[in-house]
C-alpha cells in the first residue's frame, strides 16, 4: 500500500517535469492506475481484517476524493491537449 500510494504522488511530480501535455497525460494515467491499485489493497486489507470497517471507510472516502481530483485534472489536461 505504501508503494502504490507514493507512486500516485511520484507520478504526478514526474509528469509535471515532462514537456508537453501528452507526456503529462501519460503520467496522470499511471497515477490513476496506482490509485486503483491502492483501492484494491484497502479492500483486501479490510477483508483480511487488517483494517477495521471504520478505518477502511475513512481511507476509502479520502481515496475517493483524491481519485475525483485526479480524474478532473486528467480531463482538464486532455481538453487543453486537444484544443491547443
CB 1 within 8 A of CB 45: yes
Q: What is the CATH number of the domain that holds 57?
A: 1.20.1440.60
Give the list of residues 6+ apart from residue 24 with CB closer than 8 angstroms, or none: 15, 16, 18, 77
Whole-angstrom Cα Rg for the chain: 15
pLDDT in tens, 36-57: 999 999 999 999 999 999 999 9
Q: Say what the pTM is.
A: 0.89
Q: Considering its fold, how many domains does the chain have in total?
A: 1
How does pLDDT run across 4-16, given as a tens digit for each residue?
A: 999 999 999 999 9
How many CA within 13 A on the CB side of residue 67?
15
Domain that holds residue 6: 2-83
Amino acid at each position: 500500500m505504501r508503494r502504490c500510494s507514493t507512486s500516485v504522488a511520484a507520478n504526478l511530480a514526474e509528469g509535471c517535469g515532462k514537456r508537453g501535455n501528452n507526456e503529462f497525460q501519460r503520467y496522470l494515467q499511471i497515477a490513476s492506475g496506482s490509485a486503483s491499485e491502492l483501492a484494491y489493497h484497502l479492500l483486501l486489507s479490510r477483508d483480511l481484517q487488517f483494517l477495521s470497517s471504520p478505518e477502511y471507510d475513512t481511507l476509502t472516502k479520502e481515496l475517493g476524493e483524491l481519485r475525483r481530483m485526479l480524474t478532473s485534472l486528467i480531463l482538464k489536461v486532455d481538453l487543453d491537449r486537444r484544443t491547443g
